[in-house]
Each structure stands twice: as structure tokens, then as C-alpha cells.
Amino acid sequence: MEIDLSEFTRKPPGTRCSIPRLLESMTPEHREKIEAAMVTKNIATSTIFEKINLWSAESIGRSTVERHRKGECLCGRS
Ligand SMILES: [Zn+2]
């Protein structure tokens, strides 16, 4: 009998996270930097998280940045 693991493999029903919205609220220069930093492996998430909170109008949680970086949110998917 096969074990049903769909609960684990199914993508979370999550919506888009708040990161794209926060990026929109930044200056193009800052947005570009954050986007580039996100895809650069040797940049720590904590540093990106710090900058987002510094440069955007709203603050977000560190786990949101982590999830976004890992692609576990729905951003970039359609
Ligand atoms: Zn996201």
C-alpha cells in the first residue's frame, strides 16, 4: 500500500507574499539592488531582510524573505 504524501508535497495554498508589493514601494535603484541580492547565493537573507525594512514603507518578517528566496511563495509563478 502506498502512503499518500500529497499533504506534504502539495504546494502551500499561500498567496503571493508581500515582497513584490514592498519592492514596488521602493525607489528603482533600491528595488534593483534587492532583486539582485535575492538571487546572489552568498548574500545572507538577514542582510536582505534588513535592507527591505530600511528601504520600504512597510516592514516584513524574516521568514517571508526566506520563503520568497526559496521560491516557496507564489511570486513569479502564474
Ligand atoms: Zn514572494
The H or E element containing residue 56 is none
Which is higher by pLDDT, 50 or 76?
50
pLDDT in tens, 51-67: 999 999 888 899 999 99
Q: What is the pLDDT of residue 40?
A: 96
Residue owning grid cell 534588513? 50
Taking the centre of ligand 1 as the mean of its atom positions, its distance from the CA of residue 75, in whole angstroms, is 4
Burial of 52 (0-12, 13-18, 19+ CB in 10 A): buried
Give the predicted TM-score (pTM) of the model.
0.74
CB of 19 closer than 8 Å to CB of 65? yes
In a domain, 55, yes or no: yes
Taking the centre of ligand 1 as the mean of its atom positions, its distance from the CA of residue 6, in whole angstroms, is 23
User: The domain containing residue 44 runs over which residues?
Assistant: 17-70
- 69 confidence band (pLDDT: 50, 70, 90): very high
CB of 60 closer than 8 Å to CB of 19? yes
Q: What is the pLDDT of residue 12?
A: 57
**How many structural domains does the chain have?**
1
Q: What is the pLDDT of residue 54?
A: 94
